[in-house]
Amino acid sequence: MKKLLWVLPLIILASCKKENEKCNCGVITQDGIDIRPDGTSCYWLEIRNECTDNKKRWCFDYDIWFDGNPGEDFCVTNETKW
């Protein structure tokens, strides 16, 4: 009975772990440059979220875009999940 009292909370915590993770990281799947109507550039990276498997494109400044390559892990710091 004592073992059951220790095992049950561990099972509950383990099942909640994925839900409580910060899911702001993933793998870069594509990159590119778009020219906006106002003439500015959007240096974008498309990232597949490691938790949800969703893809989303993000605009970054040139230096971040230049250093991010398809196939690499990348975290979007101002986003918690997409």
Is residue 30 in a domain? yes
Is residue 17 in a domain? no
Count up the domains in the chain and report the number. Answer: 1
For the whole model, what pTM was predicted?
0.70
Rounded Cα–Cα distance for residues 25 and 53 (Å): 10
Is residue 5 in a domain? no
Q: How many residues are listed for the chain in this entry?
A: 82
Closest CA to 74 of 57, 4, 36: 57
Range of the domain at 41: 22-82
Q: What are the pLDDT digits (tens) for 3-54?
A: 545 554 555 445 544 555 679 999 999 999 999 999 999 999 999 999 999 9
Rounded Cα–Cα distance for residues 58 and 64 (Å): 11
